[in-house]
Structure 1
């Protein structure tokens, strides 16, 4: 004989309906939250971070100020950490003054050599600085201290970024100059105005092909590898932005974005 199921009371049925409605609302809220997270992950609602980038130094920062090996890595690291990079092309010395005056949130491509109490990120890119000379000059440069014997054109803030030995040479050297625009270094070397250019080998190579027709940028050069690799960091006024950058950097290294950017500009991943 089939069991008899008593009919539910109106009160009990009402409780069940209220419970079902509550669960439906909870699911809807959770779904909305997930969609919000997904939107933020794709760039919606990211907080702007205004950053000084130096002047163009291809292939790291292109002339547009919106592309380059350095720029793209920093942009993607910030985005993965919840921030949007808003870059400004500025001489490094001006960018540093603006950072310390509260007019910028951060700077790219620097290190602790600039001093200050701001927050430095993990290393996100590595430059290789060299001393470049015209091969026809046959200059003997085997160590940093040998630069004291020659006139030198370096990139802006080199004396703060290239270590204590270089800082000491630069501070006592009357023939030492720094230039905000790095194409100027190439011009001076190929025109015979200075003996040595100090800067990244890729930047020098790029600008050698951008000189005026009357300057022979095809002359053979010798690159003296007297400097160690130069790890570069970003620096921010707020620790939370630094932390977001570092977290984002780990994400783009793990998911292949970092290597894809390097391959785009250099042809191979490290």
Structure 2
């Protein structure tokens, strides 16, 4: 009897140790699973600001991935597109659907792109074809995102590719537009106006040319299907509650239609 009591006394700490180790392992596993690395573009206000800590895209993602610990990692747009495929992130924000064994969300953000010229340059820009004889300033991979005619004109190896200039930093893109004459900048209107105000340039001194689809919409890519499904559910809830529209208003982004209008019911 005495030996049994002694054995029991020794087994209890052992059991507690095993239980504590198992509990720690579960907690650690949960903590790891609740952390997500999110690839996002370099700053392009009002969508991404303050080194990726603020902005419309950032806030949308934080609300749609509520409950997860998010680490935003900024990179050029060309790298964001394949960040999940290349195992650089668990989630990538602002991508087009591409090949690969990954999962894509519903559309989460909308851009309204224009060709913009200075009134003083008096450039006749009535069609995409009119762009071919002017320096065209764009963001990275824009030739893939603005329709077939634009892609044919400025794809690598095309006749007019030398007139096409991509910028990984859209602040530099806008700054270059204001430096020289006879250029055309292709850019989202909200981004252009944000940087133009910061640079104290006159917004009323430009012409906006509507050459592209009314909107360009982007998705998020995910390594995990369950997280993608949860993201879509939260995004839909944001639309239904009016939270999405409030974020647009907060960042002064004006859209005739939003991604909420196209979400599956």
Does TM, normalized by the shorter one, top 0.5?
yes
| Cα distance, 1:92 vs structure 2 | 1.5
Classify 1:244/1:190 alpha carbon distance in 2 versus 1 (closer, same or farther; 3 Å): same
Q: Extract unaligned runs of 5+ from structure 1.
A: 1-43
Residues 189-216 of structure 1 show CA distances to partners (whole Å, capped at 9, x for unaligned) of 11116611111011011111223xxxx7
Scaled by the length of structure 2, what TM-score is found?
0.75
Residues 1:55 and 2:39 aligned together: no
Distance change in 2, residues 1:45/1:254 (3 Å): farther
The residue correspondences of 1:1-270 to structure 2 (distance < 5 A) are 47-79=34-66, 82-112=67-97, 114-171=98-155, 172=158, 173=160, 174-192=162-180, 195-211=183-199, 217-218=201-202, 220-228=205-213, 229-266=215-252
Extract unaligned runs of 5+ from structure 2.
Answer: 1-30, 259-265
Question: For 1:141 and 1:54, how far apart are their aligned partners in 2?
Answer: 29
Deviation for aligned residue 1:98 = 3.7
Distance between the aligned counterparts of 1:75 and 1:233, measured in 2? 15
- 1:63 CA drift (Å): 2.3
Q: Distance in 2 between matches of 1:159 and 1:129?
A: 12
Q: Give distance in 1, aligned partners of 2:253 and 2:196.
A: 19
Aligned-partner Cα distance in 2 for 1:169–1:236: 32
Q: CA RMSD in A?
A: 2.3
Structure number, greater radius of gyration: 1
Change (3 A) 1:204 1:263: same
TM-score calculated relative to the size of structure 1: 0.74
